[in-house]
Amino acid sequence: MNKIALAAALLALATSASAQLANKAYIGGAFGMSNVAVDCGGVASCDNDDTGYKFYAGYKVHPQIAIEGGYIDFGKSNINVGSFGVGSIAVDGFLINAAGRLPFTRELTGVGRLGLAMVDTKSTGFPYGNRTDGSTNAYFGLGLEYSFNKNLRGTAAADFTTGEVAGEEGAVRLLSIGLQYDF
């Protein structure tokens, strides 16, 4: 009898928690083209374009306002002298931001994000040597969400911040497409 009562209490608790999170919490992921704008130090060329990705979770404090946290990988810049790769700079970070949503239609919503990015910049080889630099920088993003149904959305976004290596700051961005699931 105690097991049945315990199971009923757990079921009631789970149902209550689920009702409180309904249409408030969400998770998402995206991938796309990234750019790490760095100074190549006078070498022959830089390949600043790469593939990046992000994962995030959010909680809506109002139907149009949410608090989000996530991880973003901006890819890396490869520094070359002729056909020889001599160095790279990789940028990633953790985000905490507010997201504001503006519905355009029932399915299409615009999203603006503003917050902070705790960015790690890892350089290897020429011209900066092997080092890791960390900084906290302003972060902003713009995007669109398309609702396929009540819980699933397609996303297109642009994320921007800066990274720092050896005291020099450079812009980083990610242009991505992805999916978001609302609980």
Residue 146 lies in a domain: yes
Distance CA(114)–CA(116), nearest Å, equals: 7
For residue 126, the tally of other CB atoms under 10 A from its CB is: 17
Distance CA(117)–CA(140), nearest Å, equals: 9
Look at residue 42 in the predicted model and tell me its pLDDT: 61
Residue 142 lies in a domain: yes
Each of the 183 residues of the chain gets a pLDDT tens digit; together they read 455 654 555 455 444 444 455 579 999 999 999 998 876 666 557 778 899 999 999 999 999 999 999 999 999 888 776 666 678 889 999 999 999 999 999 999 999 999 999 999 998 876 677 888 899 999 999 999 999 999 999 999 999 999 887 777 889 999 999 999 999
Residue 9 lies in a domain: no
Residue 100 lies in a domain: yes
pTM, two decimal places = 0.81
**CATH code assigned at 160:** 2.40.160.20
Look at residue 129 in the predicted model and tell me its pLDDT: 76
Residue 49 lies in a domain: yes
The residues that bridge with 126 in the sheet, in sequence order, are none
Look at residue 17 in the predicted model and tell me its pLDDT: 47
Residue 16 lies in a domain: no
Domain holding 108, by residue range, is 25-182
As for how many domains the chain has, the answer is 1
Residue 19 lies in a domain: no
Residue 8 lies in a domain: no
